[in-house]
Amino acid sequence: MKVLIYTHEYPPFQGGIATSSEKIATIFASKYSTYVCCPKYGLKDDCETKGNLKVHRINFLGGRNFKKIPIMQYIKGLDFLKKKIKDIGPDVIFYLGEEAEIVGGLLNNKEIKQIVRIAGSGIKSILESKNLINLVKKYLMLRLYRNSKNIIAVSKNTKKLMNNNSFFEDKQKIRLIYNGFDEEFTRKPKELSLKKELGYHESDFVLLTVSRVLPRKGQDYVIQAISELGIKKIKYICVGGGKYLEKFKSMSKKLNIESNVLFVGPKDKNEIHKYYDICDVFILCNRTWNSKIEGLPNVAIEAMARKKPVIGSRNSGTEELIVENNTGFKVNGDEVDDIKKKILLAYENKAELKNIGLNAYNMIQKEFSYKNMAEKYMEILNEN
């Protein structure tokens, strides 16, 4: 069997879809010839080969900023995809991300088995939108869904959003497959030296967010909550880049808590575990922003894999990871007062956090393992 994966997010790009694309490609390549079509991101090579996995890079107009020229990315992507289908002759085409779905809708293939993985953001920002431009995108995405064998939802919340809307009628196509954590990531030795290197005292209470820096991820509301709490011992580390980075830095400075908030920028996956290890709580107060929502974030699963409690938002995929006061704490991501209360609750119950983190680890071992994820993806791939 030959599998072609088409996505507009893939490493070295950092983000949930890119991480998931690489994981799914690795799963398929463990048994079948797998081809990934993805952006070049300024890399030198157009094609990389590793065992059964071949990554074909698309040299989009605009380089790393190709998404700022949306129409051209769809035209170029469609042309590239058609050529690869002709060259490879895939038995299955797998789409990840709403941009990929739009290209799949333009392709309008009815002969090859197609599978789509949805995280949720496209449902709110496109499928439920009445904006004229989005109506065209909606038409193309729905056309792909109709032509596809299966639609994979990454969380119960994503599946619920699809089921509760009338824009797509064939609900039987929708299947739930959770993201799985990287077992090698859990086996990395625990490292605590970074806390001292960053200038923190042993008694400091460290909150951590690993994510792109933007309002949907909620770093701004966490900063505001920390400011209102006024507890010097509470420190906040933000790992990740993004166009709101400087704005949120300025915000912490304006609130006079610059010494409490540290932006360290993007970090390589080989060192990211060090940040999880020194935090007391992982926090991701995601909220609906720019009509986009959170699916089920890999970073929250990673935090739990390093035995950390999670403060995460209700009405999102993150909620499915949290058993209140057992694996973490649920919060209303769009309410600073609630975020403040949950941070204070965790701070005042620091002695209990180790046990909560262990509970979190045990939970994902059972329900969010890479093995379960791989088995379910292979099962769908092999269905007639």
Q: Spell out the domain ranges in the chain.
A: 2-180+369-382, 183-367
Instruction: Pick left, alpha or beta for residue 99 (phi over 0 → left; psi -120 to 50 → alpha; otherwise beta).
Output: alpha
Give pLDDT, residue 60. 92
Per-residue tokens: 2:
């030959």
Q: Are 300 and 284 in contact (CB under 8 A)?
A: yes
Is the distance from CB of 312 to CB of 341 less than 8 angstroms?
no
- Write out the chain's pLDDT in tens, 384 residues: 999 999 999 999 888 899 999 999 999 999 999 999 999 998 889 999 999 999 999 999 888 888 888 899 999 999 999 999 999 999 999 999 999 999 999 999 999 999 999 987 777 778 777 788 788 988 999 999 999 999 999 988 888 888 887 777 788 999 999 999 888 888 899 999 999 999 999 999 999 999 999 999 999 999 999 999 999 999 999 999 988 999 999 999 999 999 999 999 999 888 999 999 999 999 999 998 876 777 788 899 999 999 999 999 998 888 899 999 999 999 999 999 999 999 999 999 999 999 999 999 999 998 898 999 999 999 999 997
Evaluate whether 101 touches 126 at the Cβ level (below 8 Å).
no
**The pLDDT value given to residue 291:** 65
Concatenated DSSP letters for 60-111?
Answer: -TTGGGGGGSHHHHHHHHHHHHHHHHHHH--SEEEEESHHHHHHHHHHT--S
Q: Which of 229, 239, 237, 283 is nearest to 260 (CA)?
A: 237
pLDDT of residue 64: 82
Q: What's the order of all strands across the beta sheet hosting 261-265?
A: 261-265, 234-239, 205-210, 281-284, 310-313, 328-331
Give start and end residues of each alpha helix (H) in the chain.
Answer: 16-29, 70-88, 98-107, 121-122, 132-147, 156-163, 183-187, 193-197, 219-229, 245-254, 272-278, 298-305, 336-348, 353-367, 370-382
Residue 84 confidence (pLDDT): 97
Phi first, then psi: what are they for 177, rounded to 5°?
-135, 115
2-180+369-382 has which fold?
Rossmann fold (3.40.50)
Q: What span, in angstroms and rounded, lies between the C-alpha atoms of 46 and 163?
A: 40
pTM exceeding the 0.75 threshold for the entire prediction: yes
Closest by CA to 36, choosing from 49, 119, 44, is: 49
Burial class of residue 246, CB neighbours in 10 A (0-12, 13-18, 19+): exposed
Rounded to an integer, what distance in angstroms lies between the CA atom of residue 319 and that of residue 26?
Answer: 27
Question: Among residues 115, 66, 69, 68, which one has the least CA distance to residue 90?
Answer: 115
User: Same topology for domains 2-180+369-382 and 183-367, yes or no?
Assistant: yes
| Distance in angstroms (rounded) separating the CA atoms of residues 16 and 285 | 16
Q: Output the six-digit token pair for 147.
A: 């032509």
Which numeric CATH code is attached to 183-367? 3.40.50.2000
Q: For residue 223, what pLDDT is reported?
A: 98
Pairing of strands 2-7, 234-239: unpaired
Q: Which residues contact 255 (CB under 8 A, 6 or more apart)?
A: 223, 224, 227
Task: Please tell me the distance from the alpha carbon of residue 143 to that of residue 138, in angstroms, as a whole number.
Answer: 8
- pLDDT at res. 123: 76
pLDDT of residue 264: 96
